[in-house]
Amino acid sequence: MYSAQVKTGLFAVAGLNAVSTTYYFYYIYFFMQERFGFDRIQNLVLAASLGFIYTFASIFCGRFAQRCGHFLSLRLGFFIMAAVLAVGGGLPGIAAQLAAAIICDIGMCFTWPTLEAMVSEGESPSGLQRMVGIYNLVWAGGGAFAYFTGGAMLEHFGLRSMFLVPSTMQVAQLALAFWFEKKSAQIGSRLTTPRSAIASRAVEPTPNPSQEGNGRGADRPVLSSRSAAGALTPSPSSIGLERVAECRGNAWSHSEESGGSPSGERELSPRPVARAFLKMAWLANPFAYLAINTVWLFVRVGAFALLWLWPGWHYRFRWLIGAYAAMVASFALILLVPNLALLLAAQCVFGLAVGLIYYSSLFYSMDAGEAKSEHGGFHEAAIGAGSCAGPAIGAAALHFFPDAPGSSAWAVSGMLLLGLCGLTWLRRRA
């Protein structure tokens, strides 16, 4: 478990990571168009390829962080991205730039699942709701900031800035990772009572009440089995981190029928209902990103704030399926409605629905057991699947139906409907 001070710093790292990765991965397509003449289909193929790689790399990197350590995973990811971006602007040729994008894509996979797990470790049910909410607001706000300011940055500082600015931020994140690791170790050493100290206290001479008055036997240690057991048992204030680690992973144990109120802590192995909701959220998440790649909406940030403050949607299938249906309907309205007011209303509904779907995927991932980094990897893999499918569908539609500019949007709508069918099927099996 990490201290509140370290977790606060990790939120700052997540914000920097959101800004830096958005600067690069949003504007790499503009760079490829300006530098190498990529057309729309080529950029869509590039986006689909990066999403495909991200899908499988996220699973590997989540497991890596779970087995090898969070800070090692962060350092590795930040170093890879910092090094690649530092030289990326000067790399000649398409092949070199594509290789740099792929390596940077893999480097990013070491960071997001790890950060998600670190801010969620050791939290109570209400604490997990709070930490996931803050995390969502931080990364979404950072991404929105980079989205709005990236164009001005390129205009004033040139194309090289989309490499140098993120690289500088990655170096700062790498330094922060080292500092927070040191800080976490210092806090851990203060919380953990050395075993040698406990043992030395256990064998200290204990005065015998029967001999206290005459002084006999005062030079001999008297240690009964009961007093030894008490001496070897640390007080609550001296419980070490290994004891704290045993208590992590408690989560909400209420279901749709319980009305959404928090109950007692549940067992470490998640119940079937939690597993079922986790699978449904992982299924819905890539379809949300498939649509986001077509219509980007910032209403999602407001949805994150709302869902952070109100936990009544936890483990309620009606909210998840309702959000998915609202996403499909609002996306169709965005395609069909020419009225500006209705278009803005549809965009707001779309953003709220996507926010709940993403929030569900991350919250259920962190709530379902102890393997938070591994679950974070699957959560990010779902995002990668959507980031791959959306551009792939768009590229295929433009290739086979070049005279129908709206074909890609309709193809995405069809995929969303298939996802709705899959979500309903999973619910019936649960």
Q: At what angle do helices 112-120 and 94-109 cross, to 10 degrees?
A: 10
Give me the pLDDT at residue 82, please: 98
Average pLDDT of span 77-98:
95
Average pLDDT of span 344-355:
86
Give me the pLDDT at residue 397, please: 85
Give me the pLDDT at residue 329, please: 85
Give me the pLDDT at residue 72, please: 97
Q: Which of the two residues, 237 and 46, has the higher pLDDT score?
A: 46
Q: Which of the two residues, 369 and 245, has the higher pLDDT score?
A: 369
Cβ neighbors of 192 (< 8 A, separation 6 or more) are: 240, 241, 242
Give me the pLDDT at residue 264, please: 37
* Residue 205: pLDDT band with limits 50, 70, 90: very low
Cα separation of 393 and 387, whole Å? 10
Domains, the chain: 1-192 (1.20.1250.20), 268-430 (1.20.1250.20)
Percent of residues, the chain, with pLDDT higher than 90 = 35
Give me the pLDDT at residue 316, please: 80
Render pLDDT for 128-165 as a digit per residue (tens, 0 to 9).
888 999 999 999 889 888 988 888 899 899 999 999 99
Most confident of 105-114, 353-362, 395-404, 413-422: 105-114
| 296 pLDDT more than 70 | no
Is residue 138 within 8 A of residue 15, CB to CB? The reply is yes
Q: Which of the two residues, 385 and 243, has the higher pLDDT score?
A: 385
Average pLDDT of span 94-99:
96
| 44 pLDDT more than 80 | yes
| 252 pLDDT more than 70 | no
| 19 pLDDT more than 50 | yes
Number of Cβ atoms within 10 Å of the Cβ of 336: 10
For the chain, the average pLDDT equals 76
| 208 pLDDT more than 90 | no
Cα separation of 418 and 66, whole Å? 33
Render pLDDT for 150-159 as a digit per residue (tens, 0 to 9).
888 998 999 9
Give me the pLDDT at residue 226, please: 31
Cα separation of 390 and 402, whole Å? 17
Least confident of 50-59, 124-133, 175-184, 215-224: 215-224
Average pLDDT of span 218-222:
34
Render pLDDT for 385-398 as a digit per residue (tens, 0 to 9).
888 988 898 888 88
Average pLDDT of span 214-229:
35
Give me the pLDDT at residue 412, please: 76
Render pLDDT for 303-334 as a digit per residue (tens, 0 to 9).
888 888 888 887 787 888 888 888 888 888 87
Q: Which of the two residues, 277 and 395, has the higher pLDDT score?
A: 395
